[in-house]
C-alpha cells in the first residue's frame, strides 16, 4: 500500500488533550525530552511538539511500517522516530544520547487505519489476508501461526488473551478445518468461530474475542507492555510522568498493577527501631484516571473502552 492509500484511512486520536496535558509540560519544562511510545498516526506527537520549545525534544516509537512512513512526514529537527516497539526504550534512548526523559506517553490501542485496511487482517468486517502483524517486516502472520500451532496452544491463546469461554471449541474447529482447507482469510476465520461459539454476546460479533486474542499473541503486545512499562519507569527523571491509555481489561490490569507496585511500599515491623528517614518510600505517585467524555464517545465510538492512567516518578526519599 502506498502512503497516499494509507492516508485515505483516517484516525481519531483518543484522549488527545487529556493524555498530553497529563504530562505537565509547563513553561519550565518545554525544553525537556519526551517520548511517544506509540506514534500511530501522530496525533499525540504533533500536539506534544506544539507545546515544546525550540530546545525541546520528542522521540517516538512504532512497529508499524505505515506509521513510520507517516512519521517521516514530520520535518521537525526536534523529532525523531524509531522503528521498533516501546519495549526497546532501554536500548534505543542511550543510542540516541538520551539519559533521563521528562515524560512518556503510551497509547496502547490499534489505529483506525490498521483496523479499516482489510489488507492488514486485523478486522473481520471486510475480507482480507489473515496477517495481523503490526510490523509486516518481522515475525509470522496469523495465518502462518494457525497453520502449525497445536490445538492446546490455540486454546490457551484464545482463552488467556481473548477471555473467550468457548476457546476449546474454537481451537478444535480451527484444527479440523485446516486439515481440509488452509485458513488464509479474515472472513474464513470469522465463519469458523461463528459456528463454534454457541451463544453470542449482545451487540458483539462472536469472532471479536478470538481476533483480539490472536492479534495480541502475534504481536507480543502484553509482553512488550510489561517490558516497556519497566523500561519507561527507569528512563523517567524525578517528577517525570507516564501517561498510558489502555483499551481492554488485560492491558489496563497490567498498567494498574505496575503503577500500584511502584506506589505501594512494604511496611516494616513497627516493633523494630527504624528511623522515619529509613522507612521505604513510594517510587511513584498516582495522579489521575480518566475516561473519554460522553461527547468524545459519541464522536468516536471506538474510544468507549479507553482508560488513561497517569503516574509521576518520585525522587528517592520523597514521599
Q: From the annotation, which residues make up the binding site for S-adenosyl-L-methionine?
A: 42-44, 62, 86, 107, 114
Annotated binding site: 42-44, 62, 86, 107, 114
Q: Phi and psi of 202, rounded to 5°?
A: -60, 125
Strand spans (E) along 93-207: 101-107
The answer to whether residues 5 and 70 touch, using CB atoms and an 8 Å cutoff, is no
Contacts of 67 (CB under 8 A, 6+ apart): 39, 40, 41, 42, 111
**Exposure string for 1-24, b = 16+ CB within 10 A, e = fewer:** eeeeebeebebebbbbebbbbbbb
Pairing of strands 33-36, 101-107: parallel
Find residue 309's DSSP bridge partners. 244, 289
Neighbours of 269 (CB within 10 A): 6
Q: Phi and psi of 147, rounded to 5°?
A: -75, -20
* Run of H or E residues at 188: helix 186-196
Amino acid at each position: 500500500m502506498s502512503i497516499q492509500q494509507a492516508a485515505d484511512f483516517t484516525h481519531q486520536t483518543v484522549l488527545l488533550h487529556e493524555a498530553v496535558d497529563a504530562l505537565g509540560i509547563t513553561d519550565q519544562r518545554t525544553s525537556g525530552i519526551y517520548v511517544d511510545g506509540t506514534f500511530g498516526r501522530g496525533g499525540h506527537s504533533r500536539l506534544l511538539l506544539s507545546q515544546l520549545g525550540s530546545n525541546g525534544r520528542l522521540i517516538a516509537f512504532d512497529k508499524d511500517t505505515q506509521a513510520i512512513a507517516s512519521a517521516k512526514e514530520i520535518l521537525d529537527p526536534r523529532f525523531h522516530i524509531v522503528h521498533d516497539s516501546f519495549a526497546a526504550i532501554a536500548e534505543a534512548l542511550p543510542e540516541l544520547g538520551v539519559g533521563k526523559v521528562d515524560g512518556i506517553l503510551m497509547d496502547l490501542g490499534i489505529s483506525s487505519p490498521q483496523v479499516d485496511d482489510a489488507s492488514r487482517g486485523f478486522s473481520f468486517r471486510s475480507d482480507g489476508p489473515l496477517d495481523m502483524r503490526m510490523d509486516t517486516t518481522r515475525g509470522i502472520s496469523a495465518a502462518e501461526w494457525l497453520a502449525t500451532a497445536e490445538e492446546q496452544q490455540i486454546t490457551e491463546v484464545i482463552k488467556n488473551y481473548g477471555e473467550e469461554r468457548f476457546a476449546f471449541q474454537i481451537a478444535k474447529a480451527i484444527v479440523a478445518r485446516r486439515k481440509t482447507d488452509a485458513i488464509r482469510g479474515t472472513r474464513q476465520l470469522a465463519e469458523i468461530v461463528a459456528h463454534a461459539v454457541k451463544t453470542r454476546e449482545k451487540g458483539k460479533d462472536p469472532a471479536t474475542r478470538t481476533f483480539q486474542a490472536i492479534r495480541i499473541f502475534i504481536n507480543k503486545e502484553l509482553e512488550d507492555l510489561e517490558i516497556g512499562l519497566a523500561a519507561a519507569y527507569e528512563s523517567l527523571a524525578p517528577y517525570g510522568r507516564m501517561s498510558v491509555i489502555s483499551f481492554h481489561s488485560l492491558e489496563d490490569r497490567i498498567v494498574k498493577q505496575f503503577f500500584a507496585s511502584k506506589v505501594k511500599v512494604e511496611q516494616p515491623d513497627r516493633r523494630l527501631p527504624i528511623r522515619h528517614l529509613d522507612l521505604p518510600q513510594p517510587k511513584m505517585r498516582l495522579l489521575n484516571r480518566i475516561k473519554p467524555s460522553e461527547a468524545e464517545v459519541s464522536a468516536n465510538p471506538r474510544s468507549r473502552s479507553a482508560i488513561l492512567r497517569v503516574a509521576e516518578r518520585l525522587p528517592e526519599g520523597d514521599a
